[in-house]
């Protein structure tokens, strides 16, 4: 009976992800000799009944494509792939979609020379209303992280702490459709392993996400042709990146291997001035923090796939990464009286040794039949992190005389183990030309185990002595499961999508310290509906969307252990945190022409139980924790464009205006509401002698965050590239952070103190990159 009710409930929840288009031409391109799909094949169409030019797209990593067309029109479709015969056909579109099925391409005796510029895979552009980025098409070869790629996409904002947000709200990031819970996982992705990044502003119930979605699609284990690629870059500081990748096909099998090595050094300076308002504390505290950090990472990724027939595809891949960080931190802290006269100062030195090893294994099955698709995904990720840190503190009086002749020394030994199992099932079925269904289920189990030991040096005994109050074991477990359903209904000009996600989350924490055990257990059952509807015309569309979502606290936000790596600023978590609950509404209008796309959006969000940082002082020490302190209201508008004024220039960009308002008690914010503005523009140029150029500029005004008021931030990057040796070799030159503008301040204010942090990251650099690729003979 219970299973029957659950099944009935699942069917009732069917909803749909809608696309604002009229009719479509779909198909899948195949190699007739090897019986394998051809991903990234150029598909171009032209309406012979109108004067509009040729437009196009590329097939996905399974060789499939979909192009929006108008009814009662005749189209000429041309399909090209290097080394294959051209496919051409006339199609009469009446009032129904056209599925061309499997389209065979035969290998050619000579290489094709024709290239449709309008059907090329752009580095940045819009597809189906969503911004997409293809890293392989970027002119620079010196990108070192996935964060750098995200920062170049319109509508996406990245601050100094590398928090990724869209429309003033932190974005949900997915890897191959599976959500990551910690954005630090982006550091485990090599840019060379990314095939495509897509920004989804109005995600359906299919996605376990709050706010907008950024889906990072990794390269498939099998490519259209056997090939190899070597990539390297170096900057004028000596930081360097090397990457080698190769893939091979044999009959119905295919596989790939990638190896990556990256060494990167960053210098960061943070200056803080804090004014204490409570009597008994030093009236003013001035602190200067200089941090030098060297990152040394190596990564290997390999995978195979097997396609027994046109309808079935199996994928398996694995990833191994080792990342070593060695930060050195020097802190100079001054205590001043009301007249800003120095009374005492402290010198502090910290050295860290961090070693993180990650391994991940994934399996995927994709089955496609007549008007239905099934996808099954499973993954396992294990992470082991070791951290040893040594700290030395010495206090001085105002004349520079040591108050204590012997420094206070301590060391910490921290071991962290993370395991995560994930599974996902997606099913799509087209009932007729007007109605389609989509449903699925996903689950995950995540476990964290952290062991920490702290010791202090006893100078009288000349020995290290364990500190029981700072020795603990932390256990975290998160079990999540969900069902979702989608119904998509569309007619000639109208479309409606209704969907919902039923999610159950069970979380527990266990923190044992000095014979004291703090246990916490919480469970949440949520129904998260979505709605999307609108109308489209020949060159424009209008839509309205609604989504309810929840954001769960992270593991680190729940850990109640007091982290005193910096004893001047101590932070810890709160195991009683509740999920943030969000209601979002968006009205979108877009225009699509041959040379430009323009989008306008009005949006409003209401977030309840916002998790914010709670600050208080004890003596001259600042403590930070987390609490569900506020409600947040955001209203604004966004403008996006993609414009190609000439055949050698393409421009894209976005601008977002929005108003933020926090309501609640005890908020550590200088002001509770603010108008914010973000602006981005990017240009791509095809210069003479086959030289490509890309320019990206981004600006963000001051913004209210959960940890304070953030100051403005802007950045300028310029890159050039040129191909040699019949496009086998690409040389690039990139100027990153040319304005030396990675500077941002943060203001915090409550009843106890007023504080301002100024952070500067020395990341201006010139990067020389090289990519060499060659093909192998298929068998």
Q: Which H, E and C letters describe 82-146, residue by residue? A: CCECCEEEEEEECCCCEEEEEEEECECCCCCCCCCHHHCCCCEEEECCEEEECHHHCCCCCCCCH
Average of pLDDT values for 311-321? 90
Dump pLDDT digits (tens) for 185-228: 777 677 777 888 999 888 889 988 887 889 988 876 554 567 88
Q: What percent of the chain has pLDDT over 90?
A: 45
Q: In which band, very low, low, confident or very high, does the pLDDT at 534 lie, cut at 50, 70 and 90?
A: very high
Residues 553 and 696 in one domain: yes
Q: Which of 92, 120, 148 is the last residue of a domain?
A: 120
Check the CA dihedral 62-63-68-69 and report its sign: negative
* In the predicted structure, residue 433 carries a pLDDT above the cut 70: yes
Dump pLDDT digits (tens) for 635-657: 999 999 989 898 889 899 999 99
**In 3D, which of 246, 243, 224 has the Cα closest to residue 59?**
224
Dump pLDDT digits (tens) for 137-153: 776 555 667 888 888 88
Residues 92 and 240 in one domain: no
Average of pLDDT values for 107-118? 40
> What Å distances lie between residue 60 and 37, 50, 55, CA to CA?
10, 28, 17
Burial class (CB in 10 A: 0-12, 13-18, 19+), 702: buried
- pLDDT at position 1 is 44
Task: Please report, for the domain that includes residue 283, its CATH number.
Answer: 2.40.170.20
**In 3D, which of 53, 43, 46, 50 has the Cα closest to residue 76?**
46
Give 651's strand partners.
643, 683
Within-domain flag for 183: no
Average of pLDDT values for 335-347? 93
* In the predicted structure, residue 559 carries a pLDDT above the cut 90: no
Average of pLDDT values for 384-411? 92
Domain count, the chain: 2
Geometric angle at alpha carbon 140, from 137 and 142, rounded to 5°: 125
Within-domain flag for 402: yes
- pLDDT at position 763 is 87
Residues 108 and 245 in one domain: no
* In the predicted structure, residue 533 carries a pLDDT above the cut 70: yes
Within-domain flag for 505: yes
Average of pLDDT values for 423-447? 93
> What Å distances lie between residue 439 and 7, 18, 442, 499, CA to CA?
12, 14, 10, 9
- pLDDT at position 10 is 43
Name the most confidently modeled range: 98-107, 268-277, 552-561. 268-277
Which residue bears the tokens 């936000």?
557
Within-domain flag for 629: yes
Within-domain flag for 221: no
Within-domain flag for 193: no
- pLDDT at position 511 is 84
- pLDDT at position 32 is 66
* In the predicted structure, residue 168 carries a pLDDT above the cut 70: yes
DSSP string, 337-350: -TT--EEEEEEEEE
Average pLDDT, the chain: 85
Q: Which of 103, 120, 137 is the last residue of a domain?
A: 120
Higher-scoring residue by pLDDT: 562, 389: 389
Which residue bears the tokens 């201006």?
764
Dump pLDDT digits (tens) for 491-524: 888 999 999 999 999 999 888 876 677 888 889 8
- Would the pTM count as exceeding 0.85? no
- pLDDT at position 435 is 93
Within-domain flag for 59: yes
- pLDDT at position 20 is 34
Average of pLDDT values for 298-303? 91
Over the Cα atoms of the chain, what is R_g? Answer: 28
Q: Which of 120, 143, 159 is the last residue of a domain?
A: 120
Which residue bears the tokens 């399909």?
79
Q: What percent of the chain has pLDDT over 70?
A: 90
Are the C-beta atoms of 213 and 172 separated by less than 8 Å?
Answer: yes
Burial class (CB in 10 A: 0-12, 13-18, 19+), 104: middle
Higher-scoring residue by pLDDT: 367, 560: 367
The β-bridge relationship of strands 580-592 and 540-551 is: antiparallel
Within-domain flag for 5: no
How many other CB atoms are found less than 10 A from the CB of residue 363? 16
- pLDDT at position 221 is 55
Average of pLDDT values for 333-360? 93
HEC profile of 533-564? EEEECCCEEEEEEEEEEEECCCHHHHCCCCEC
Dump pLDDT digits (tens) for 361-391: 999 999 988 889 999 999 999 999 999 999 9
Parent domain of 434: 227-775
- pLDDT at position 52 is 56
Residues 262 and 381 in one domain: yes
Least confident of 679-688, 700-709, 767-776: 767-776
Task: Please report, for the domain that includes residue 116, its CATH number.
Answer: 2.60.40.10
Dump pLDDT digits (tens) for 446-474: 999 999 999 999 998 899 999 887 888 99
What is the phi/psi pair of residue 151, to 5°? -65, -15
- pLDDT at position 44 is 85
- pLDDT at position 116 is 33
* In the predicted structure, residue 244 carries a pLDDT above the cut 70: yes
Give 664's strand partners.
630
């Amino acid at each position: 009976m219970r299973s029957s009710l659950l099944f009935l409930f699942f069917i009732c929840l069917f909803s749909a992800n809608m696309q604002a288009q009229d009719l479509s031409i779909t198909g899948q391109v195949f190699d007739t000799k090897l019986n394998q799909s051809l991903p990234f094949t150029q598909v171009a169409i032209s309406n012979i009944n109108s004067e509009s030019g040729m437009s196009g797209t590329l097939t996905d990593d399974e060789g499939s494509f979909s192009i929006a067309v108008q009814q009662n029109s005749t189209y000429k479709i041309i399909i090209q792939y290097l080394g294959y015969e051209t496919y051409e056909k006339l199609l009469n579109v009446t009032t129904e979609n056209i599925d061309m099925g499997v389209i065979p391409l035969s290998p050619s005796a000579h290489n094709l020379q024709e290239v449709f510029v309008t059907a090329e895979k752009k580095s940045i552009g819009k597809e189906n209303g969503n911004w997409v980025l293809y890293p392989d098409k970027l002119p620079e070869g010196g990108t070192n992280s996935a964060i750098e790629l995200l920062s170049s996409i319109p509508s996406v904002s990245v601050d100094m702490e590398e928090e990724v947000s869209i429309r003033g709200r932190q974005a949900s990031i997915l890897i191959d459709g599976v959500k990551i819970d910690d954005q630090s996982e982006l550091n485990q992705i090599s840019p060379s392993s990314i095939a495509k990044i897509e920004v989804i502003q109005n995600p359906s119930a299919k996605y376990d996400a709050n706010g907008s979605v950024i889906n990072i699609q990794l390269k498939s284990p099998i490519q259209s042709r056997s090939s190899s690629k070597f990539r390297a870059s170096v900057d004028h500081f000596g930081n360097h990146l090397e990457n080698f990748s190769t893939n091979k096909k044999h009959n119905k099998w295919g596989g790939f291997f990638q190896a990556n090595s990256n060494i990167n050094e960053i210098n960061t300076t943070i200056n803080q001035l804090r004014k204490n308002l409570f009597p008994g504390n030093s009236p003013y505290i001035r602190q200067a923090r200089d941090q030098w950090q060297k990152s040394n990472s190596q990564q290997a990724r390999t995978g195979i796939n097997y396609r027994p027939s046109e309808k079935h595809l199996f994928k398996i891949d694995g990833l191994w990464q080792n990342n070593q960080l060695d930060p050195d931190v020097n802190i100079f802290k001054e205590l001043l009286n009301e007249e800003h006269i120095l009374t005492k100062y402290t010198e502090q030195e910290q050295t860290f040794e961090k070693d993180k090893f990650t391994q991940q294994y994934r399996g995927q099955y994709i089955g496609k039949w007549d008007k239905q698709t099934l996808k099954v995904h499973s993954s396992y990720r294990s992470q082991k992190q070791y951290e040893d840190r040594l700290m030395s503190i010495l206090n001085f009086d105002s004349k520079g005389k040591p108050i204590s002749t012997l420094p206070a020394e301590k060391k910490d030994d921290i071991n962290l183990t993370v395991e995560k199992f994930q599974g996902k099932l997606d099913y799509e079925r087209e009932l007729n030309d007007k109605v389609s269904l989509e449903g699925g289920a996903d689950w995950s189990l995540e476990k964290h185990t952290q062991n920490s030991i702290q010791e202090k040096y006893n100078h009288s005994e000349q020995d290290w002595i364990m500190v029981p109050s700072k020795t603990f074991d932390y256990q975290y477990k998160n079990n999540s499961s969900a069902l979702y359903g989608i119904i998509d209904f569309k007619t000639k000009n109208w479309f409606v999508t209704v969907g919902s996600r039923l999610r159950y989350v069970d979380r527990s924490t266990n923190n044992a310290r000095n014979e004291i055990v703090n246990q916490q257990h919480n469970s949440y059952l949520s129904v998260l509906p979505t709605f999307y509807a609108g109308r489209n015309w020949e060159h424009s569309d209008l839509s309205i969307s609604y989504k309810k979502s929840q954001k769960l606290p992270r593991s680190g936000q729940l850990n109640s252990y007091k982290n005193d790596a910096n004893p001047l600023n101590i932070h810890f978590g709160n195991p009683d945190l509740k999920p943030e609950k969000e209601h979002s509404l968006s009205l979108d209008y877009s225009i699509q022409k041959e040379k430009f796309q323009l989008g306008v959006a009005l949006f409003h969000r209401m977030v309840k139980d916002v998790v914010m940082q709670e600050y208080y002082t004890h003596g001259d020490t600042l403590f930070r924790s987390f609490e569900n302190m506020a409600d947040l209201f955001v209203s604004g508008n966004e403008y996006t464009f993609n414009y190609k004024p000439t055949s050698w220039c393409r421009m894209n960009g976005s601008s977002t205006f929005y108003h933020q308002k926090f309501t609640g008690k005890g908020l550590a914010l200088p002001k509770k509401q603010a108008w914010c503005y973000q602006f981005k523009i990017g240009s791509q140029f095809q210069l003479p002698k086959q030289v490509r150029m890309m320019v990206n500029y981004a600006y963000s005004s001051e913004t209210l965050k959960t940890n304070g008021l953030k100051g403005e931030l802007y950045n300028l990057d310029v890159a050039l590239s040129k191909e040699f040796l019949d496009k086998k070799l690409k040389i690039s030159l990139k100027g990153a952070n040319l304005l030396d503008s990675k500077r941002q301040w943060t203001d915090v204010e409550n009843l106890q103190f007023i504080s301002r942090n100024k952070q500067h990251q020395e990341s201006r650099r010139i990067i020389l990159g090289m990519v060499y690729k060659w093909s192998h003979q298929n068998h």
